């Protein structure tokens, strides 16, 4: 059967970010085609890009996405030389569904039937208790809400959450020896990396991180008399 909407291998969709996994992709992880340390968790309530609305918004469910390359969102499995996929035969269901000229079927699946970390971890694994501890200390929805507040109390609470986030990651890494990549699967993005566009910046003092509101230059500071 002819494909009326063939992929042109332009790479645009892959450069916008790795796909989120759903339950149809569970065997891809179980069979080793996609590893845990190749995934990034976007926790419920954190800000994420919604391709349907084309804007950043709090995600209503936990998402497991394929990590980006370096500091970019380009899918880890994209080869930029050929714009090809290194796991094409075993690519996630989202990638199979995507047709760039007819995105409606894909957009209709957003936030539905998604995989969670607990789906990929043995029920008796003690790491689940560490994930729960992290969620209680640093809930994504609360963090996102505090970012939108201007009160000094909100900044103080954000400081506490950022420090708790880093402390739990450090403790678990010391006890288990996990890699940074696996940490991003277990605990998601560090909170201090989610400050972009919030008007809050992270500074280091005496080996500790502190948050402060970014001081904007005065409109008159750039004038010449």
Structure tokens at 214: 């970014």
User: Do residues 190 and 113 both lie within one domain?
Assistant: no
User: Do residues 57 and 97 both lie within one domain?
Assistant: yes
Of residues 55, 58, 51, the one with CA closest to residue 20 = 51
Work out the pLDDT band at 1, boundaries 50, 70, 90. Answer: very low
Work out the pLDDT band at 225, boundaries 50, 70, 90. Answer: very low
Tens digits of per-residue pLDDT, 5-20? Answer: 566 777 788 888 899 9
Q: Which domain-ending residue is among 87, 117, 147?
A: 117
Work out the pLDDT band at 206, boundaries 50, 70, 90. Answer: confident
User: Do residues 110 and 185 both lie within one domain?
Assistant: no
Q: Is the pLDDT of residue 217 over 80?
A: no
Work out the pLDDT band at 192, boundaries 50, 70, 90. Answer: very high
Q: Which domain-ending residue is among 117, 148, 180?
A: 117
User: Do residues 110 and 21 both lie within one domain?
Assistant: yes
Distance (Å, rounded) from C-alpha 155 to C-alpha 3? 53
Residue 51: per-residue pLDDT: 82
Residue 211: per-residue pLDDT: 92
Residue 220 belongs to some domain of the structure: no
Work out the pLDDT band at 102, boundaries 50, 70, 90. Answer: confident
29-41 mean pLDDT: 97
Which long-range contacts does 93-99 make (Cβ < 8 Å, 24+ apart)? Answer: 93/22, 93/24, 93/25, 94/19, 94/20, 94/21, 94/22, 95/19, 98/13, 99/5
Question: What DSSP string describes the chain?
Answer: ---SS------HHHHT-PPBPBGGGHHHHHTTSS-GGGEEEE-TTSEEEETTTTEEEE-SS-EEEE-BSTTS-SBTTEETTTTEETTGGG--HHHHH--TT--HHHHTTTTSSB--GGGGS-TT-THHHHHHHHHHHS-HHHHHHHHT--SHHHHHHHHHHHHHHHHHHHHHHHHH---HHHHHHHH-S-GGGG-TTTTEEEEEETTEEEEEEPPPPPTTTT---
User: Do residues 106 and 167 both lie within one domain?
Assistant: no
User: Do residues 142 and 108 both lie within one domain?
Assistant: no
Q: Is pTM beyond 0.75 here?
A: yes
Mean pLDDT score of the chain: 89
Tens digits of per-residue pLDDT, 121-169? Answer: 999 999 999 999 999 999 999 999 999 998 889 999 999 999 999 999 9
Domain extent for 144: 122-213
182-194 mean pLDDT: 96
Total of domains in the chain: 2
Residue 222: per-residue pLDDT: 52
Residue 218: per-residue pLDDT: 55
Residue 172 belongs to some domain of the structure: yes
Residue 225 belongs to some domain of the structure: no
Work out the pLDDT band at 91, boundaries 50, 70, 90. Answer: very high
């Amino acid at each position: 059967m002819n494909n009326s909407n063939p992929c042109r291998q332009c790479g645009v969709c892959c450069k916008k970010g790795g796909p989120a996994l759903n339950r149809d992709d569970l065997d891809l992880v179980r069979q080793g085609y996609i590893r845990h340390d190749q995934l990034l968790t976007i926790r419920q309530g954190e800000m994420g890009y919604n391709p349907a609305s084309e804007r950043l918004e709090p995600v209503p469910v936990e998402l497991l996405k394929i990590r980006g390359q370096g500091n970019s969102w380009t899918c880890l499995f994209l080869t930029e030389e050929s714009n090809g996929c290194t796991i094409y035969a075993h690519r996630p269901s989202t990638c199979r569904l995507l047709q760039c000229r007819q995105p409606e079927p894909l957009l209709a699946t957003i936030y539905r039937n998604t995989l969670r970390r607990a789906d990929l971890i043995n029920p008796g694994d003690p790491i689940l208790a560490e994930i729960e501890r992290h969620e209680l200390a640093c809930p994504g929805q609360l963090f996102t809400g505090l970012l939108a507040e201007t009160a000094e109390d909100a900044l103080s609470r954000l400081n506490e959450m950022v420090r708790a986030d880093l402390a739990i990651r450090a403790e678990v890494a010391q006890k288990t020896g996990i890699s940074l990549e696996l940490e991003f699967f277990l605990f998601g993005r560090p909170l201090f990396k989610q400050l972009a566009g919030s008007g809050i910046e992270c500074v280091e003092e005496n080996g500790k991180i502190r948050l402060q509101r970014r001081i904007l230059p005065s409109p008159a500071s750039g004038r010449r008399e």
